[in-house]
């Protein structure tokens, strides 16, 4: 019989890629969304919208989780649902704590009550390292979260470990460093850059507004990160793993590569908030700084050390940043040229 998996947050970037990955492995997939009607653009782009059994779930309500597990009876649960926007978490710290933090406990309680043999994956975040204590960060690096989002994720991380230690449930926490793709939401800086660059190329947008250009991030390719989730749940031993590329690039470099893919060379002029990115060929300003986009408390250099995942799961990143940017820009250009059908909200 086919294995059955439940993916919370299946309408998000990772949920869509994980659903596709597991379907290809022969799983039967149940996936949850929060907002009705479900936003299916990602599942549609991957051609699997009609292959996922969709259910509504709000992680703010405990009863929902129990009822869902009783109905679906999954062997594996992947908890990808979250209020995942850092900026929103500063505006809505309580709701973020409820969904991204306590939501994990609600699901784990449901697992314990309905079937403690369920294997459980929690999507933890590099943001938990925040004001970093060492570079690169591994599973042993102390945490210092710098946003309500990261603090909620830290609760989710420790409650996942706690259910493993106290109840002997097979739970794994993946400390995921940033991972991007053409399915990333437009609110995230990488996709904002690739989408804007493609629109500027097509003459549909004038400028791209960004915050701190010098922030460096460890950016991987999302489809590879969902494979790591599955590897964790299908390993003989439950444990926690950093999933990362081990390389960091600045937002500035990301911008240069994105425009470069479109044959636009950027030259930088000015300093600080006055800095501007100029299209060398036309002399037009295409990138400007918007101080409102700076974070209230910036994070330090987040670079992950995924050697434990390499050693114990055989996982390693394959896609270079150059290739990732190219994949994202080309896909955005294609969408725009074909009438922007699946750009999502």
93 binds ligand NAP per the rule CB under 6 A: no
CB of 302 to ligand NAP, least distance (A): 10
Query: Which of the stretches 3-11, 139-147, 201-209, 255-263 binds ligand NAP when contact is defined by CB under 6 A?
Result: 3-11
Which of the residues 15 through 34 are near ligand NAP (CB under 6 A)? 15, 33-34
**Nearer to ligand NAP (CB atom), residue 84 or residue 245:** 84
12 binds ligand NAP per the rule CB under 6 A: yes
99 binds ligand NAP per the rule CB under 6 A: yes
**Nearer to ligand NAP (CB atom), residue 150 or residue 169:** 150
Instruction: Centre a 10 Å sphere on the Cβ of residue 226 and count the other Cβ atoms it contains.
Output: 28
Summary count for the chain: helices (H), strands (E): 12, 15
Q: According to CB under 6 A, which one of 35, 70, 234, 320 is a site residue for ligand NAP?
A: 35
251 binds ligand NAP per the rule CB under 6 A: no
DSSP-derived secondary structure letter, 96 = H
Which of the residues 173 through 202 are near ligand NAP (CB under 6 A)? 176, 178-179, 185
**Nearer to ligand NAP (CB atom), residue 175 or residue 258:** 175
Which string of x and - marks every residue 148-177 that binds ligand NAP (by CB under 6 A)?
A: ----------------------------x-
Which whole-number Å values give the CA distances from 181 to 80, 84, 101, 156, 248, in the listed order? 16, 16, 25, 25, 17
CB of 271 to ligand NAP, least distance (A): 30
Which whole-number Å values give the CA distances from 153 to 38, 81, 105, 121, 288, in the listed order? 24, 11, 11, 13, 32
Residue nearest to ligand NAP (CB): 12
CB of 84 to ligand NAP, least distance (A): 4
Distance CA 141, CA 117 (A): 30
Instruction: Centre a 10 Å sphere on the Cβ of residue 64 and count the other Cβ atoms it contains.
Output: 18
**Nearer to ligand NAP (CB atom), residue 35 or residue 270:** 35
Q: Which two tokens stand for residue 57?
A: 């779930």
DSSP-derived secondary structure letter, 72 = H
119 binds ligand NAP per the rule CB under 6 A: no
Instruction: Name the nearest CA neighbour of 331 among 258, 255, 252.
Output: 258
Which string of x and - marks every residue 45-84 that binds ligand NAP (by CB under 6 A)?
A: ------------xxxx-------------------xxxxx
Q: Which residues bind ligand NAP (CB under 6 A)?
A: 8-9, 11-15, 33-35, 39, 57-60, 80-84, 99, 123, 125, 176, 178-179, 185
């Amino acid at each position: 019989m086919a294995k059955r998996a439940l993916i919370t947050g299946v309408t998000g970037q990772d949920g869509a890629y994980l659903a596709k990955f597991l379907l290809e492995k022969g799983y039967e997939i149940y996936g949850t969304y929060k907002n009705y009607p479900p936003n299916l653009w990602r599942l549609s782009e991957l051609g699997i919208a009609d292959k996922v059994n969709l259910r509504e779930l709000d992680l703010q309500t405990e009863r929902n989780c129990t009822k869902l597990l009783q109905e679906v009876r999954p062997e594996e649960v992947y908890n990808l649902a979250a209020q995942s926007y850092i900026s929103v978490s500063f505006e809505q710290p309580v709701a973020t704590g409820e969904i991204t933090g306590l939501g994990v406990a609600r699901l784990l309680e449901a697992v314990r009550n309905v079937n403690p043999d369920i294997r459980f994956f929690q999507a933890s975040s590099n943001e938990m390292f925040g004001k970093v204590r060492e570079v690169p960060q591994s599973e042993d690096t102390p945490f210092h979260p710098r946003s309500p989002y990261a603090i909620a994720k830290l609760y989710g991380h420790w409650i996942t470990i706690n259910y493993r230690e106290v109840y002997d449930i097979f739970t794994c926490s993946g400390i995921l460093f940033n991972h991007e793709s053409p399915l990333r939401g437009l609110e995230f800086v990488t996709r904002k850059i690739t989408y804007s660059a493609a629109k500027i190329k097509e003459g549909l947008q004038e400028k791209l507004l960004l915050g701190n250009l010098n922030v460096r991030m460890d950016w991987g390719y999302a489809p590879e990160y969902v494979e790591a989730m599955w590897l964790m749940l299908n390993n003989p031993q439950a444990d926690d793993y950093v999933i990362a590329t081990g390389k960091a690039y600045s937002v500035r470099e990301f911008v240069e590569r994105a425009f470069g893919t479109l044959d636009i060379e950027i030259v930088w002029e000015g300093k600080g908030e006055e800095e501007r990115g100029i299209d060398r060929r036309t002399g037009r300003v295409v990138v400007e700084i918007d101080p409102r986009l700076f974070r209230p408390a910036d994070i330090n250099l987040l670079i992950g050390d995924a050697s434990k995942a390499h050693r114990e799961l055989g996982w390693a990143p394959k896609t270079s940043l150059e290739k990732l940017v190219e994949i994202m820009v080309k896909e955005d250009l294609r969408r725009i040229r074909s009438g922007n059908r699946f750009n999502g909200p």
